[in-house]
Amino acid sequence: MAKESTTKDYKALSLKALTKSTVWDVQENDIFRMLETVEKDADAREDLRHIADIIRSAFMIEEVKEDDKHLRERYVKQGYKVGSIKLGEESKLTWAIKKRPIVRVTDLTYENIRHISAAKLIEVLERNFGGGWDSLSQSIQDIIESGFDISTTTLPKDRLHKKGGMYEKKVADGYEVLEVEKGTWVEAIFAKVKPEVIKPRLSFDSTRSGDGEGDDDDDALPVDDYNCPDEDDVELEEPNDDEINEDNYRTTFAIESDGDEDAEGLSDYIADE
């Protein structure tokens, strides 16, 4: 199921901590509760335009005149929540806000993909599908796969639900499935939420000293000894040109004659112009 707003969500978030990803965790009432702090927070009032841009990434916002009761009622009938934001002792702003629905694959973004369930994803795909998984653009596939494990299989109708087959195993493993008919064949698209992985950050302990105290062999940085001679290396002296003669000089590689005895020179391999 998709994540629902809770009191815990609201307490954990504030306007200053709100991002284009976390804003999908809250609902309209939570937004108005957070906006209550604007009246007493000068910094929040100055950043209200930036805050509004973040909110708009997940909500539709319409400004309503305070005395326009007809317009307020019309927005309420359309599913909007209407509330006022105090900007000071005498200044007030009235907004009608509504969570942006995710009904088409083009509504999916990197910010909201982790805030829907696999069942919701299948519902969105089913509403938009026709040609199967490959009919989606690469950009949409990338967005979906950033939040879900996706796998597909295409089989004849009578073989798709074969006992012990891929379909049965995937469903038992918690995958949601969408079946797309293709004539006498069916493409099954399996989706399961990916667990969020926190990437470890590399840190260096500045308290380590060069005497080796507190060093951990597993964390120690390798020593660059590429240009250092090994202990077993024998030091070679520079050759003296006067001592080199035909008895003690030899090359490090052998030069063999050309195996093609008929070739008299390079000119034999070049065609006459």
Who's near 242: CB < 8 A, 6+ residues apart?
Answer: none
Average pLDDT on 142-169 reads 94
Beta 148-156 vs 185-193: how paired, if at all? Answer: antiparallel
User: Taking 90 as the threshold, does the pLDDT of residue 3 lie above it?
Assistant: no
At 60, is the pLDDT very low, low, confident or very high (cuts 50, 70, 90)?
A: very high
> How far apart are alpha carbons 120 and 132 in whole angstroms?
17
User: Taking 80 as the threshold, does the pLDDT of residue 69 lie above it?
Assistant: yes
Place of tokens 């001679």: 229
CB-CB contact of 97 with 80 (8 Å): yes
CB-based burial label for 20 (10 Å; 0-12, 13-18, 19+): middle
Q: Which helix H or strand E contains 149, and what residues bound it?
A: strand 148-156
Strand 148-156's sheet: what is its strand order? 148-156, 185-193, 176-182
Structure tokens at 43: 């910094």
> How far apart are alpha carbons 83 and 92 in whole angstroms?
10
User: Taking 50 as the threshold, does the pLDDT of residue 113 lie above it?
Assistant: yes
- What is the model's pLDDT at position 198? 65
Does 197 or 4 have the greater pLDDT score? 197
- What is the model's pLDDT at position 86? 85
- What is the model's pLDDT at position 140? 96
At 12, is the pLDDT very low, low, confident or very high (cuts 50, 70, 90)?
A: low
Global model pTM greater than 0.85 = no
Bridge partners (DSSP) of residue 187 are 154, 180
Three-state DSSP state, 142: helix
CB-CB contact of 84 with 94 (8 Å): yes
Percent of the chain with pLDDT over 90: 50
Average pLDDT on 249-273 reads 45
Does 90 or 4 have the greater pLDDT score? 90
User: Taking 60 as the threshold, does the pLDDT of residue 256 lie above it?
Assistant: no
Q: Which of 111-115, 196-200, 264-268 has the highest mean pLDDT?
A: 111-115
Under the phi-then-psi rule, with left for phi > 0, alpha for psi from -120 to 50, and beta for the rest, what region is 260?
beta
